[in-house]
């Protein structure tokens, strides 16, 4: 088969920040798992809203409000299409994945959990997919239990099966680990959980920027993600939920927009999705979110994914040749995350030296302390790749690691 050519240099022209110089060196941005950079198309869309149609949405009696409302709801439909949801009213706006998980834990978890029930999360989860469940479990007398992860960074499916019983009401798992890059077997996890009647929440923060998502095919009950990890703005994300679950759930917050009628005798709530969207929403960034989706849809996603896989393989091959390089997370199925330690050094020291060379990586526990504790390490150095990165940038990373060794060892 002929491999699709991916013109990374042409793609890089779409991202103005990649032309930056940091500490006298060209920026090498390898912190994409924390947040991705924004194409000019997204920046322009946000600017256009504030320049030409800035107004509050819904119930406006003037042109600006009508235009803003149409663009805002068109953005919701863009998210619906991107994740292949049945209807746009199953897409709820939130500030990001963290708020989305809190919404589900508080509203759905608070509604269904009882004393003795269990919530299962994997041992490699981001804190945002652990702490909200612990909070509601404490209120309800339920328990949050970890699904074991092996030394390679892969979920132990046999152990997961052994944990499943009628007391398990919710399984909440990341599609991709932000700390290790592991792609979890979500389809199998969902099918197994459903056999015991458990509902499944998928943290899609690290997956939506890498490939297309089909929530109907997955048959997940909830799917949560953020715009800023898929080349969109910060402060906006989305929750998808199956209609019957969303309709049964109580509101997460109270105030304007989420009501149908308010009186001191009692209040009735709005229909989906507005029941969960109290207050003035993040209109500009919802529009920017839609622009990010439009940009992604204009790419050859298959070629982009192949390019990212090439970058990871290239980085791993260079790591194997570097004395003292210890790769953390060796799952066979991974996205472009290189999480590692350099023997005899502290991750933060290495990160500071790399920064002096204009190389942006992330160091620390990556909000995944339980898996770091399992590996008996304080954290890692994490280089995470996107389709606008190049092999030359990875060469720069490893040259920087050689410099760090020279200074620190």
Measure the CA–CA gap between 382 and 364, rounded to whole angstroms.
8
Q: Are 333 and 306 in contact (CB under 8 A)?
A: no
Question: Which residues have a Cβ under 8 Å from the Cβ of 328 and sit 6 or more positions away?
Answer: 153, 180, 339, 340, 341, 375, 377, 380
Burial (Cβ within 10 Å: 0-12, 13-18, ≥19) of residue 59: exposed
The label of the residue with tokens 């003037």 reads: 62
- DSSP-derived letter for residue 241 is E
CA triple 252-258-262, angle to 5 deg? 115
CATH 3.40.640.10 residue ranges in the chain? Answer: 44-297
Which one, of 371, 309, 358, 315, lies nearest residue 121 by Cα? 371
The two tokens of residue 326 are 């210890």
Q: Which of 367, 370, 395, 403 is catalytic?
A: 367
Q: Residue 237 phi/psi, 5° resolution?
A: -155, -175
The two tokens of residue 86 are 């049945």
367 tagged catalytic:
yes
The label of the residue with tokens 């991202």 reads: 15
Tell which CATH architecture fits domain 8-30+300-408: Alpha-Beta Complex (3.90)
Q: So what's the pLDDT on residue 4?
A: 57
Which one, of 205, 197, 273, lies nearest residue 236 by Cα? 205
Q: So what's the pLDDT on residue 1?
A: 40
Centre a 10 Å sphere on the Cβ of residue 406 and count the other Cβ atoms it contains. Answer: 9
The two tokens of residue 11 are 């793609």
The pTM for the full model equals: 0.96
Question: Which residues have a Cβ under 8 Å from the Cβ of 306 and sit 6 or more positions away?
Answer: 3, 4, 6
Q: So what's the pLDDT on residue 2?
A: 46
Measure the CA–CA gap between 239 and 132, rounded to whole angstroms.
15
Q: So what's the pLDDT on residue 61?
A: 86
Tell which CATH architecture fits domain 44-297: 3-Layer(aba) Sandwich (3.40)
DSSP 3-state of 21 = strand
Measure the CA–CA gap between 397 and 403, rounded to whole angstroms.
10
Q: What is the pLDDT along the chain (409 residues), one digit of tens a residue?
A: 445 578 999 999 999 999 999 999 999 999 999 999 999 999 999 999 999 999 999 987 899 999 999 999 999 999 999 999 999 999 999 999 999 999 999 999 999 999 999 999 999 999 999 999 999 999 999 999 999 999 999 999 999 999 999 999 999 999 999 999 999 999 999 999 999 999 999 999 999 999 989 999 999 999 999 999 999 999 999 999 999 999 999 999 888 887 788 889 888 888 999 999 999 999 999 999 999 999 999 999 999 999 999 999 999 999 999 999 999 999 999 999 999 999 999 999 999 999 999 999 999 999 999 999 999 999 999 999 999 999 999 999 999 999 999 999 8
Which one, of 405, 383, 209, lies nearest residue 292 by Cα? 209
Helix orientation angle between 63-83 and 283-297, rounded to the nearest 10 degrees:
40
Q: Are 207 and 176 in contact (CB under 8 A)?
A: yes
CATH 3.90.1150.10 residue ranges in the chain? Answer: 8-30+300-408
DSSP 3-state of 24 = coil
Which one, of 225, 289, 240, 292, lies nearest residue 75 by Cα? 289
Question: Which residues have a Cβ under 8 Å from the Cβ of 75 and sit 6 or more positions away?
Answer: 286, 287, 289, 290
């Amino acid at each position: 088969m002929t491999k699709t050519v991916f013109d990374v240099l042409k793609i890089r022209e779409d991202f103005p920040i990649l032309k930056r110089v940091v500490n006298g060196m060209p920026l090498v941005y390898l912190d994409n798992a924390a947040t991705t950079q924004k194409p000019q198309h997204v920046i322009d869309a946000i600017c256009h809203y504030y320049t030409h149609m800035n107004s509050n949405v819904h119930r406006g009696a003037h042109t600006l409000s009508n235009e803003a409302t149409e663009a805002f709801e068109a953005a919701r439909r863009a998210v619906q299409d991107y994740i292949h949801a049945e209807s746009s009213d199953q897409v709820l706006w939130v500030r990001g994945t963290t708020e989305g998980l809190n919404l589900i834990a508080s509203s759905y978890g608070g509604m269904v959990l009882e004393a003795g029930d269990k919530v299962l999360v994997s041992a490699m989860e981001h804190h945002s997919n652990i702490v909200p469940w612990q909070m509601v479990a404490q209120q309800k007398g339920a328990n949050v239990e970890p699904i074991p992860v092996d030394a390679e960074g892969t979920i132990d499916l046999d152990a997961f099966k052994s944990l499943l019983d009628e007391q398990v009401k919710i399984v909440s798992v990341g599609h991709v680990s932000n700390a290790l890059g592991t792609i979890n077997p979500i389809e199998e996890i969902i099918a197994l959980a459903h056999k015991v009647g458990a509902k499944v929440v998928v943290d899609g923060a690290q997956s939506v920027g890498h490939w297309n998502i089909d929530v109907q095919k997955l048959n997940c009950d909830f799917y949560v993600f953020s715009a800023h990890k898929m080349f969109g703005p910060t402060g906006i994300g989305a929750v998808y939920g199956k209609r019957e679950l969303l309709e049964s759930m109580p509101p997460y917050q109270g105030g304007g927009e989420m009501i149908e009628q308010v009186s001191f005798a009692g209040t009735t709530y709005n229909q989906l999705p507005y029941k969960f969207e109290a207050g003035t929403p993040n209109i500009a960034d919802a529009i920017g979110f839609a622009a990010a989706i439009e940009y992604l849809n204009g790419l050859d996603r298959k070629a982009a994914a192949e390019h990212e896989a090439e970058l990871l393989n290239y980085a791993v091959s260079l790591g194997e040749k570097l004395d003292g390089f210890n790769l953390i997370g060796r799952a066979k199925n991974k996205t472009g995350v290189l999480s590692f330690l350099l023997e005899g050094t502290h991750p933060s020291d290495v990160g500071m030296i790399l920064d002096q060379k204009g190389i942006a990586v992330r160091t620390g526990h990556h909000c995944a302390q339980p898996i770091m504790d399992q590996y008996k390490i304080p954290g890692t150095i994490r280089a995470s790749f996107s389709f606008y990165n190049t092999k030359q940038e990875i060469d720069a990373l490893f040259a920087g690691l050689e410099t760090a060794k020279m200074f620190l060892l």
